Amino acid sequence: MIPFLVGSLLCSVLVTDAQPVPTGQQQAPALTFQAAFEVTSARNLGLEAARRQRAIREAQIRIARPLQNPDVAVEVSRDVPHEVLTFNVPIEIGGKRARRIDLARTEMAQSDIDVRVELRTLRRNLRQAFYGLLAAGERVRRHSLPEASAWRSRSAWIASESSASFAT
């Protein structure tokens, strides 16, 4: 789906560049690969999702760091004893908090890798579409030259002569 979107974006830009410019107007600058990359990276939903996932992972690190809050409870009843005060302080044994923080940091590193993978995939798809369209435009330009028309008619004549010699 992404190569199709990138190709359609580039195709629309190249088609608008290929149209003749009326006299008195300046032609818009040609689309460069870097400009196309900036546009597609700003509008790519997969890359945006990976960047937002990184923000979620940063929040998970902040959530894993604090210690658990103590708990205080007071009960008043008509039975004996009349008042009860409980104070509960959770103690994490065995490095649970440290493992929780390490896990959040590992997931953060994974999200950084995901962002880089999305950027590389986007760059590769854009490169294929961009240079493929440039090559197609060059082929169209070459076929529209008068020399190309003569070359095509000569090639057709050779093909018809060779097929005639095989038929006899």
Domain positions in the chain:
2-15+30-135
Give the pLDDT score at 4. Answer: 52
Give the pLDDT score at 158. Answer: 77
Buried b (16+ CB within 10 A) or exposed e, 86-118: eeeeeeeeeeeeeebbeebeebbeebeebeeeb
Determine the Cα–Cα distance for residues 120 and 54; give it in Å rounded to an integer: 17
107 has a pLDDT exceeding 90: yes
User: Within its chain, how far is the Cα of 69 from the centroid?
Assistant: 41
Top-confidence range, 11-25, 79-93, 109-123, 131-145: 109-123
**Amino acid, res. 70:** P
% pLDDT > 70, the chain: 73
Give the pLDDT score at 15. Answer: 47
